[in-house]
Amino acid sequence: MFTAVIVLHIIVSIVLIIVVLLQAGKGASVGASLGGASSETLFGSSGPTTFFGKVTAACAVIFMITSLSLTYMTTAKRGSSVMEGVQSSEPAPPQETPAAEEPLKTTEPEKSGSK
């Protein structure tokens, strides 16, 4: 099942990319690039604009559904959280250092000579 959804997702992704690239920009005549007169177009008398719009919408819906189902299937298999092994961001309490048995003796340098 998982493999079938991945294959469908890849196919829909490729079709969606091709359909979006085939669409013309604003003001461009799609009919001129695909056959000329609007009554003799490849996609019927309504023109390619509505056909590409419908195909794009259908591919987008299928793409969203496969994306959500792949996400659900992946997380359902794992069953654990991503944050499971992360430690808390609270700082650790300071550790007490053991008291020294004898305080360190500091020696002052000898004063030499007179002024």
Q: What is the pLDDT, as a whole number, of residue 62?
A: 96
20 pLDDT exceeds 70? Answer: yes
Q: What is the DSSP string of 67-83?
A: HHHHHHHHHHHH-S-TT
Is 5 a domain residue?
no
Is 57 a domain residue?
yes
Is 71 a domain residue?
yes
Q: Which domain holds residue 67?
A: 48-78
Query: Which of 87 and 11 is assigned the larger pLDDT?
Result: 11
Is 105 a domain residue?
no
Is 72 a domain residue?
yes
Q: List pLDDT tens digits, range 33-92.
A: 555 555 455 656 555 667 888 899 999 999 999 999 999 988 877 666 777 777 777 766
| Phi/psi at 78 (5° precision) | -70, -55
Q: State how many domains the chain has.
A: 1
Is 68 a domain residue?
yes
Is 87 a domain residue?
no
Is 60 a domain residue?
yes
Q: What is the pLDDT, as a whole number, of residue 105?
A: 62
Which residue, chain included where needed, has tokens 């654990």? Answer: 80
Please state the pTM of the whole predicted model.
Answer: 0.52
